[in-house]
Amino acid sequence: MSVLPTSSTCLELAISIPGFVSSRSLPSSGDHTGNGNSMRMMMKDLDINQVPRDSGGGGGGGGEEEWTTTVASMEDEEEETNNDGASGPPRKKLRLTTEQSRILEETFRFNHSLNPKQKEDLAMQLKLKARQVEVWFQNRRARSKLKQTEIECEYLKRWFGSLREQNRRLQKEVEELRAIKVGRCDEPLHSASTLTMCPSCEQVAAGTSTTMHDIDKGPIRTTASATNQTSLSSKVHTIHNHSRHPSAAFPHKIH
C-alpha cells in the first residue's frame, strides 16, 4: 500500500492498495435512488419511449398529442436510416419512466448482471429492447462503482490528513527530544533515571548489549516527554499498527 500525495499542498492522492478490491458488485439498497433524476422524473412522469408523431408541429400542445412508441421501432429504423450517409438523423435518447427505473433498480438490487434469459424477460416486461436493458445495467454498474470510488477516495483523503497531522506532531516531538539530548551532552549517557525505553524495546535491549537507543534509530523516552500524553515510541507503535491496513477499515461500502 502506498499513499502518495501528488503535492505537498494538495490532498489529491495517488493510491495503490494491493489486495484491495473496489466494490465488487453486491446487491445494493443504498444509493440506487440517489440520483437526482428521480425527482425530475416524478415531476414529469412522461413516457419518453414515446415521441409525438408530429414532431414538427403542435408547439406546447402536450397532453393531447398522439404518441407512438419508438423503442421497438427504433432498431428497425436504424437499419434503414443508417444507410443514408454519415450524417443521419440525430441520435434519439430514451428516457426511462419512473416505473421502468423502479423495476430496473429493484432488479439490480438482487442481481448486478443478467443472463440472456433474464435480460430478455426483463426487457419484455419493461417493453424495452434487451440491448437497452443491458446498457442500463452496464451504466448502473459503472455508476455504482464510481460512487464507491468517491467514498473510498474521501476516506483516504481523511486518513491521509490524519497521518500527516500525526507525522507533524511526531516530527515536532523528535525535534524536542533532539534538543533535550543535545542539552545533556555533558551528562553521562547511562543516566537511567532520565532515559527509559518502551517495554517492547526494553525486551529487545535486554537480549543484547544495547544500552542506549539512538534517537534516530529507535524509540526512546525521556522523563520530560513521558509527561506528555503518549510517548514517541507508543505513537510509533500506534502508527505501525494503524497504518498497516488502512483499507481494511473502510467504514462505508456501497453495495
Partner DNA sequence: GTTTACCGGGCAATTACTTCA
Partner DNA sequence: CGTGAAGTAATTGCCCGGTAA
Question: Contact positions toward DNA, by CB under 7 A?
Answer: 25, 35-38, 40, 43-44, 46, 48, 78, 90-96, 101, 113-114, 116, 131-132, 134-143, 145
Residue 79, Cα to own-chain centre: how many angstroms? 41
Q: Quick count: other Cβ atoms within 10 Å of Cβ 126?
A: 21
With respect to DNA, which residue has the nearer C-beta, 137 or 160?
137
Give me the least distance between CB of 116 and DNA, in Å please: 4
With respect to DNA, which residue has the nearer C-beta, 92 or 172?
92
With respect to DNA, which residue has the nearer C-beta, 95 or 242?
95
With respect to DNA, which residue has the nearer C-beta, 90 or 251?
90
With respect to DNA, which residue has the nearer C-beta, 42 or 249?
42
Q: What angle do CA 163, 9, 146 make, to 5 degrees?
A: 75
Picking from 130, 99, 228, the residue whose alpha carbon sits closest to that of residue 172 is: 228
Picking from 207, 177, 210, 209, the residue whose alpha carbon sits closest to that of residue 194 is: 177
Query: Quick one: angle between helices 98-110 and 116-126, nearest 10?
Result: 160
Q: Quick count: other Cβ atoms within 10 Å of Cβ 140?
A: 20
Give me the least distance between CB of 109 and DNA, in Å please: 16
Q: Quick count: other Cβ atoms within 10 Å of Cβ 42?
A: 9
Q: Decide if 129 contacts 137 (C-beta within 8 A).
A: no
Give me the least distance between CB of 218 and DNA, in Å please: 44
With respect to DNA, which residue has the nearer C-beta, 40 or 253?
40
Give me the least distance between CB of 64 and DNA, in Å please: 18
Q: State how far the Cα of 143 lies from the Cα of 106, in Å rounded to an integer.
A: 15
Give me the least distance between CB of 40 and DNA, in Å please: 4
Give me the least distance between CB of 144 and DNA, in Å please: 9
